[in-house]
Amino acid sequence: MSGSDPDLVAVGETMATFVRAGAVDAYRLVTAGAESNVAAGMAVLGCRTQWHSRLGADELGAFVADSLAAAGVDVVVERDPERPTGAAVKEIGDAGSRMRYYRAGSAASRLDLLDTRPAQEAQRLHLTGVTPALSRENSGVVARLLADRRGGTSFDINYRPVLWASAEQAASVLIPLARSADVVLIGDDEARALLGSDDVDVVARAILVRPDQELVLKRGPSEAVLATEDRRVSEPAHRVEVVDVTGAGDGFAAGYLTAAVWGWPARARLRLGHFLASRVVGVLGDTVPDIDREDLTRLAVDLGQTWPNPTEERRR
């Protein structure tokens, strides 16, 4: 990372995940974390990003840190000698993917032990609903970060039913947190589970409490809608062959937030979100793969925008 401030700081847990596809009796090790996925996706497009968290003082923790650093993310972590790095097993078959988590008592379940002052002072801060689900301490950290900042916060609802006792419990925590953020991202399935409706006006009334807030309602393979207090903008998703949908929402968030860093208008932010999400669903990993610069240039030209093409040295 250069001496300039990062474009975005993300805070949350990243697990070492063992992935098996089909009947192949072999696993490959990847990273999986909603917040670091966003940081890595933005780094692919040349943004300066940091990921703040806690990892165990173990080999899985070293793998997570090294992998994210190799993806261009500035890794800022504390290593816990007593609590392990969270892990997961992902199995992909004809019926879709299934995740098994081994994260109880992980180092990242105690983010209250992390020095959050750098995150508090960041230009932009990204958080998700996964973090408050991991522990009461983590929930308090997210609440304080959102409440104490003045601008530049994004919060992806990221409702994971397996991490909550019920949808009602999740809603009682996640919706108040979302109301404190400047940009809120939520999937239509999450809106139905937590709010009982995926109608954009219903969701907007439940979450938007200030005129300067943005709500992004994602509808998977359908359109995404940006809602503010007085405006609605929508853009259809890209039609692509789907390999695995895991991480698509994080890819969308990475594209949307990158476009915001570049100063792109609402419709262009949605389009770049769809662009990155379409790349993620085409691969087995959860993160944005390398992007063809010509494809990105064509998208920018089509939108009447420009993007700061990084040098080869910075891309490495």
pLDDT greater than 70 at residue 210? yes
Report the distance separating Cα 32 and Cα 15, nearest Å.
Answer: 5
For 22-78, the pLDDT digits (tens) are 666 788 899 999 999 999 999 999 999 999 999 999 999 999 999 999 999 999 999
Catalogue the active-site residues: 250
The 10s digit of each residue's pLDDT in 115-126 is: 999 999 999 999
**If DSSP states are collapsed to H, E and C, what string results for the chain?**
CCCCCCCEEEECCCEEEEEEECCCCCCEEEEECHHHHHHHHHHHCCCCEEEEEEEECCHHHHHHHHHHHHCCCEEEEEEECCCCCCEEEEEEECCEEEEEEECCCCHHHHHHHCCCHHHHCCCCEEEECHHHHHCHHHHHHHHHHHHHCCCCEEEECCCCHHHCCCHHHHHHHHHHHHHCCCEEEEEHHHHHHHHCCCCHHHHHHHHCCCCCCEEEEECCCCCEEEECCCCEEEECCCCCCCCCCCCHHHHHHHHHHHHHHCCCCHHHHHHHHHHHHHHHCCCCCCCCCCCCHHHHHHHHHHHCCCCCCCCHHHHC
Is residue 207 in some structural domain?
A: yes
Residue 244 in domain: yes
Q: What is the pLDDT of residue 190?
A: 97
Report pLDDT digits (tens) over 287-315: 776 788 888 889 899 999 988 865 443 44
Whether 21 is in a domain gets the answer no
211, part of any domain = yes
Instruction: Note the pLDDT of residue 282.
Output: 54
Query: Could you tell me the pLDDT band of residue 209, with boundaries at 50, 70 and 90?
Result: very high
- Look up the domain containing 195 and give its range: 8-12+34-57+115-306
Q: How many domains does the chain have?
A: 1
Give the integer Cα–Cα distance in Å for 158 and 34.
Answer: 8
The CATH number of whichever domain residue 226 belongs to comes to 3.40.1190.20
d(CA 177, CA 186): 13
Q: Could you tell me if residue 195 is inside a domain?
A: yes
pLDDT at 247: 66
Reported as a pLDDT band with limits 50, 70 and 90, residue 2 is very low
pLDDT above 90 (res 156): yes
Q: What is the mean pLDDT of residues 197-218?
A: 96
CA–CA distance, 226 with 215 (Å, rounded to integer): 6
Above 60 in pLDDT, residue 3? no
Say what percent of the chain tops pLDDT 90.
72
Is the pLDDT at 91 greater than 90, yes or no?
no
pLDDT exceeds cutoff 80 at 275? yes
| pLDDT number for residue 1 | 41
* Cα distance between residue 37 and residue 287, in whole Å: 5
- The pLDDT score that the predictor gives to residue 241 is 63
Q: What is the pLDDT of residues 158-184, one digit of tens each?
A: 999 999 999 999 999 999 999 999 999
pTM listed for this prediction: 0.92
Is the pLDDT score of 231 beyond 60?
A: yes
β-strands 214-218, 224-227 pairing: antiparallel
**pLDDT surpasses 90 at 85:** yes
Is 237 part of any domain? yes
Residue 2 lies in a domain: no
Residue 286 maps to a domain: yes
